[in-house]
């Protein structure tokens, strides 16, 4: 889905963006209640909006067909909404997990950048080996060029060992979009989706990211 789902109900604003591999959802508490509405805003329009107004308060209007945003006295962004039914994203978000890795977000980003260099360029697969004795070991391999790498990453993990792989580029993008010191990686097994959530949520904001694992072998 090449658009952002935008929904207001009572005093909550919910946004969601997803594709076949990853999903992000954010629920924001509003100061007052608004009329219920939902829309799908094109991703390209939001990319332009982000460049034009990074940290400014914006006034946005949504009707049955258009999204309009007044950026300043002379600049207005307007686009046609996507006419489609958004997938039921809540149905794919796991409500239970059995394993949790707690790690410094920036340290994980830096480690992924280093390890990804040695991964296969098609899969960008990085394997996480977590155990209570050794923390987590990140590794990658590219058989086409006969190269590999591994790196130990400091973390908190107290459970049975697990080996799970992710697309390093996708995970890096999701971590870069967050602004938190530490994150939890919530998992069940190597085939089910993992969640990335901040250890401490910002008051009034509930943010989660879902990432599908990559097959090992």
More confident residue, 140 or 72: 140
Q: Please indicate, yes or no, whether residues 68 and 103 belong to a single structural domain of this protein.
A: no
| Structural domain count, the chain | 2
- Domain hosting 144: range is 99-211
Query: 210: helix, coil or strand?
Result: strand
- Residue 171's nearest CA partner among 140, 147, 148 is 140
Q: Please indicate, yes or no, whether residues 118 and 197 belong to a single structural domain of this protein.
A: yes
Confidence of residue 57 (pLDDT cuts 50, 70, 90): confident
Q: What is the pLDDT of residues 79-121, one digit of tens each?
A: 999 999 998 999 999 999 999 999 999 999 999 999 999 999 9
Q: Which contiguous run of DSSP H or E holds residue 126?
A: strand 125-131
For residue 216, count other CB atoms closer than 10 A to its CB.
11
Judge whether residue 136 has pLDDT over 70. yes
Per-residue burial over 124-145, b = 16 or more CB atoms within 10 Å of its CB, e = otherwise: bbbbbbbeeeebbebbbbbeee
Of 92, 116, 143, the position where a domain reaches its end is 92
Q: Which two tokens stand for residue 132?
A: 């209570």
Q: Please indicate, yes or no, whether residues 103 and 171 belong to a single structural domain of this protein.
A: yes
Residue 70 maps to which CATH number?
3.10.150.10
Confidence of residue 166 (pLDDT cuts 50, 70, 90): very high
Is 115 among the domain residues?
yes
Of 69, 92, 115, the position where a domain reaches its end is 92
DSSP 186: E
Distance CA 118, CA 141 (A): 6
Judge whether residue 56 has pLDDT over 90. no
Give the model's pLDDT for residue 169.
Answer: 96
Is residue 59 within 8 Å of residue 72, measured between CB atoms? no
Q: Which contiguous run of DSSP H or E holds residue 108?
A: helix 105-116
Of 67, 92, 117, the position where a domain reaches its end is 92
Distance CA 138, CA 209 (A): 20
Give the model's pLDDT for residue 53.
Answer: 78
Sheet strand arrangement including 135-142: 147-153, 135-142, 125-131, 162-167
Give this prediction's pTM: 0.90
- Taking all residues of the chain, what is their mean pLDDT, rounded to a whole number? 92
Judge whether residue 1 has pLDDT over 70. no
DSSP 214: B
Q: Please indicate, yes or no, whether residues 74 and 173 belong to a single structural domain of this protein.
A: no
- Residue 76's nearest CA partner among 40, 41, 49 is 49
Is 60 among the domain residues?
yes
Is 216 among the domain residues?
no
Is 196 among the domain residues?
yes
């Amino acid at each position: 889905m090449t658009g952002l789902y935008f929904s207001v109900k009572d005093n909550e604003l919910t946004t969601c963006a997803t594709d076949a591999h990853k999903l992000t959802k954010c629920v924001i508490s509003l100061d007052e209640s608004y009329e219920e509405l939902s829309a799908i805003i094109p991703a390209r329009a939001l990319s332009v909006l982000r460049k034009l107004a990074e940290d400014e308060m914006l006034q946005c209007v949504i009707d049955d067909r258009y999204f309009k945003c007044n950026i300043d006295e002379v600049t207005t962004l307007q686009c046609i909404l996507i006419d489609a039914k958004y997938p039921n994203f809540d149905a794919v978000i796991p409500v239970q997990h059995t394993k949790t890795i707690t790690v410094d977000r920036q340290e994980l980003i830096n480690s992924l950048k280093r390890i990804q260099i040695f991964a296969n360029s098609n899969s960008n697969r990085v394997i996480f080996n977590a155990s209570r004795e050794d923390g987590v070991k990140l590794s990658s391999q590219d058989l086409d060029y006969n190269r590999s790498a591994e790196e130990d990453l400091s973390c908190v993990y107290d459970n049975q060992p697990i080996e799970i792989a992710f697309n390093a580029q996708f995970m890096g993008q999701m971590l870069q979009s967050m602004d938190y010191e530490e994150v939890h990686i919530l998992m069940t097994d190597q085939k089910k989706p993992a969640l990335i959530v901040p250890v401490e949520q910002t008051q009034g904001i509930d943010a989660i990211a879902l990432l599908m694992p990559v097959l090992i072998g």
